[in-house]
Amino acid sequence: MMINHPLLGLRDAAEFVYLGDASLINRPDRDAPDAAAAFYEYLHLRDNPAGTHRELWYHEQGDRSWLVVTRNTLTHDIESVELASDVARQQGRDV
């Protein structure tokens, strides 16, 4: 499988490490009143879609960037690849 890195172009998936659901970017606020419930969901509950899935990949044997890869779990087609830092900024995070 090849991953089209936003900065480096097509790179072999062997250079990357898979982490999991891209929702891990959205770490809950530990000071929020519902922090316990939010962290329970953040740590333990995952969707398991048959189809489009947004997931985190780390370019360990490359430029050490985190990517958000949108992949179809049925076909393994990769629909888009974004830098996780760009995704976080789009969500208003200061990274």
Partner 1 sequence: MVNNRLSPRPALGGYELTHAGIQVKERVDTEVFSLACRESEKASVNDGLQSSLGVVWPEVGSCSVSTDSSVRVLGLQRDQVFVVLNSSQVTDGLLNALTNVAWCTQQSDSWATLEISGPNQYQVLECTCPIDLSPSVFTEHHVARTSMEHLSSIIYRNNDSFVLMTPTSSARGFLHMIEESIQFVD
Q: Which residues bind partner 1 (CB under 8 A)?
A: 7-9, 11-12, 14-15, 61-65
How far from the centroid of its chain's Cα atoms is residue 81's Cα? 9
Q: Measured from the CB atom, is 15 or 82 closer to partner 1?
A: 15
Q: State the minimum distance, in angstroms, from the CB of residue 20 to partner 1.
A: 22
For partner 1, give the closer residue by CB, 7 or 74: 7
User: What's the rounded Cα separation, in Å, for the pair 36 and 30?
Assistant: 8
Residue with tokens 């760009």: 86
Least separation in angstroms between residue 60's CB and partner 1 is 9
Considering the complex, state which of residue 9 and residue 51 has its C-beta at the smaller distance from partner 1. Answer: 9
Cα-based torsion angle of the residue sequence 9, 15, 18, 24 in order, rounded to the nearest 10 degrees: -60
